[in-house]
Homo-oligomer: A and B are copies of this chain.
């Protein structure tokens, strides 16, 4: 945005303007980064090295610079954390968390984002580092109001600040958007089969797609969802007929009517 003063009077006013005594706040940009690894929906978390919440797990993120927006900050953090080319990655604003004492040090307001990464063949940069780790969302305790209550001996990681709430909100955002958008393709590489796409849905929703045939019909009949290629899977997942490969449609089409997730998000249903 470029602001044009109305005239010399305002020009002078602006040049001599001194910020007054406004309540001052630090702004951070956090990212709930989702991917699917080994059939499980995962979130990237970073182990904190210092106080507060030392040894707790936090979302990747950091302070927003003076010359960048929250979205630009989020993309920069993502680049730094994952060392992956962040160009094509889906990144959207989730919500802003501004409870006064969410950080015991000072007033920190966090603009949270949701990002989606395809399952990379090569491990991402920070993954080797001991302080960054992909956690399966099913291994996180997100419903507990106060994650600090957990015993350190507990098998589930303890989340710092209000990040359990943020992850929970991000998860619900993604699950909800799957119903009426083509977001699921962001979890996949350039080309993919319809079976793979269906598995993405099942993994994210934690429930089986009611019927494969209807799923195919829905996807193929939605203009802009997928585009056919003339390729087939070269190395099928094992036995069985090779599948046709598709490409993401590109456009941000809306599913009309929406696809519905029937059951609650229980992983047992998939395994069965």
Name A residues whose Cβ lies closer than 8 Å to a Cβ of B.
Answer: 1-6, 10, 13-14, 17, 19, 22-27, 51-52, 54, 63-71, 93, 95-96, 98-102, 104-107, 109, 111, 146, 148, 161-162, 180, 256-258, 260
Contact = CB atoms under 8 A, between A and B. Distances in A.
A27 B162 contact: no
In the A-B complex, the 9 residue pairs with the smallest Cβ-Cβ separation, listed nearest first, are A70-B98, A3-B104, A96-B96, A257-B257, A19-B106, A22-B26, A24-B24, A25-B27, A69-B98
A148 to B, nearest CB: 6
Main secondary structure of the interface of A (DSSP, over half): loop
A1 B109 contact: no
Contacts of A64: 23, 25, 98
A51 B10 contact: yes
A71 B1 CA distance: 26
Contacts of A107: 66
Contacts of A111: 96, 98, 109
A247 to B, nearest CB: 28
Nearest to A5: B52
Given A14-B51, A104-B3, A23 B63 contact: yes
Scoring A17, A27, A63 by chain B CB atoms within 10 A of each residue's CB, the highest score goes to: A27
A22 to B, nearest CB: 5
A67 B98 CA distance: 10
A261 B163 CA distance: 36
11 contacts: A1-B161, A19-B105, A23-B65, A24-B24, A27-B27, A66-B100, A66-B107, A68-B100, A69-B99, A93-B95, A98-B111
Contacts of A104: 3, 5, 14
Contacts of A95: 93
A116 B69 CA distance: 28
Nearest to A161: B1
Given A3-B148, A66-B107, A98-B111, 4 more contacts: A6-B54, A23-B27, A70-B109, A93-B95
Contacts of A106: 19, 22
Given A25-B24, A27-B25, A69 B100 contact: yes
Contacts of A6: 54
Contact of A1 (B51, B54, B68, B162): B162
Contacts of A96: 70, 93, 96, 111
Contact of A54 (B10, B100, B148): B10
